[in-house]
Amino acid sequence: MTPARTPAAMPDALGTPKPLRLLVLGGTGFIGPHIVDAAQAKGWEITLFNRGKSHPELFPDVEKLVGDRDGKLDALAGRKWDAVVDTSGYVPRIVKASASLLADNVGQYVFISSISAYAKFDVANIDETAPVATMPDPENERVMEFYGALKALCEQAAEAIMPGRVTNVRPGYIVGPLDPTDRFTYWPVRIAQGGEVAAPGTTVDPVQFIDARDLAAWIIGAIENRHVGIYNLVGPEQRTGAGELLQTCIDVSKSDATITWLDPAFLEAHKVEIGGDLPILVPPVGDFLGFAQVSNARALATGLRCRPMAETVADTLKWFATLPEPRRKTLHAGWLPAREAEVLAAYHARREPPAKAGKRKAA
């Protein structure tokens, strides 16, 4: 196969760099709109390919092709782009089909993978050379059960079709405005409500996440500069503790919240799922020792810059306030008030000294 290579720096006949042509598979969910915004800021020509069901009102001036990744790719046939960003690949069969169709018509394939592709997190500072997760049956497409292993297989499928032209992006938690998961949003919103807030672990436990806008900016830069290979897209740029994140939420929202830190032994005893019930804050113990200590050195060396945490918190709160009231009343992550109150009551009961026995009266 001959790559349809059009480097970002290739000038036109007058010596002026031509705007790149970008195809986004997806584009109207969470990550896609931020990628479109970053590309539009560069003056690029953008095409979105999706089913047209999620936020069809977005980007009225952007070309949109309607289709389905699972067998309905006809709209992509015969078209050429400088790069494609795959925001919606979860199983290797579908990534293989997309990459095969586009191999002769795009210069670079950017695949949004995940740090979940790694086999384990029992050591700190793992980098892009660490082993990836595997699964007994590579044909199995149960995404919820084998999410990480399937992402690793998707990476391999794209690279097999377009060797040397694939950028595999491995973020951790992607956060900020438009995030439908509420995994990060839970903390600014809950802390803004005030009162006693339950948090897992300790103030110095490491946290890692990346604002979707910073992820998008790095991806656009990776296309401009032809960065290929595997990159861990995790932030902040410097080691950050859980206490700093929650204090930032307090400062930004001007809340009277107080934080009660729950130790891992207590969490386990009360069947609190690490990383699930209270996301983002993952105590570095056992199999999760290195989960929030993944190396981002390679991404930093290729242009990753992370905005101040306070900006992400403030913008997340502003965006959340624009959502319909029914949506704001039911966060998609974190604890319901009754569950938080229950666990806090149990924690305080464990720590309170036993009541003293009354004095016996003299006979």
Q: 224-259: per-residue pLDDT in tens?
A: 999 999 999 999 999 999 999 999 999 999 999 999
DSSP 237: S
In a domain, 189, yes or no: no
pLDDT over 80 (residue 202): yes
Complete DSSP assignment for 255-297? ---EEEEEPHHHHHHTTPPBTTTB-S-----GGGTTTT----H
β-strand pairing of 63-66 with 45-50: parallel
pLDDT over 60 (residue 156): yes
At residue 310's C-alpha, the angle toward residues 174 and 261, to 5°, is 80
Q: What confidence tier does 361 reach under pLDDT thresholds 50, 70, 90?
A: very low
Q: What is the CATH number of the domain that holds 107?
A: 3.40.50.720
In a domain, 18, yes or no: yes
In a domain, 307, yes or no: no
In a domain, 201, yes or no: no
Structure tokens at 249: 């939420």
Q: 43-79: per-residue pLDDT in tens?
A: 999 999 987 677 778 888 999 998 887 778 888 988 9
pLDDT over 90 (residue 352): no
In the block, which residue shows the tokens 């307090």?
250
Whole-angstrom distance, CA of residue 139 vs CA of residue 352: 54
Report the predicted TM-score, pTM, of the whole model to 2 decimal places: 0.90
In a domain, 306, yes or no: no
pLDDT of residue 356: 52
Q: Indicate if the alpha-carbon torsion angle 104, 299, 213, 276 is positive or negative.
A: positive
Q: Which residue in 155, 118, 150, 156 sits closest to 136, CA to CA?
A: 150
In the block, which residue shows the tokens 């109207």?
28
In a domain, 103, yes or no: yes
DSSP 76: G
Q: For the CA atoms of the chain, what is the radius of gyration?
A: 23
- Determine the angle formed by the axes of helices 147-161 and 92-102, rounding to 10 degrees: 20
Residue 108: which domain range? 1-171
Q: 165-196: per-residue pLDDT in tens?
A: 999 999 999 999 999 999 999 999 999 999 99
Whole-angstrom distance, CA of residue 24 vs CA of residue 84: 6
In a domain, 34, yes or no: yes
What's the structural domain count of the chain?
1
pLDDT of residue 88: 87
151 sits in which H/E element: helix 147-161
CA atoms within 13 A on the CB side of 56: 6
Q: Which residue in 117, 141, 259, 148 sits closest to 199, CA to CA?
A: 259
Q: 288-335: per-residue pLDDT in tens?
A: 999 999 999 999 999 999 999 999 999 999 999 999 999 999 899 999
In a domain, 126, yes or no: yes
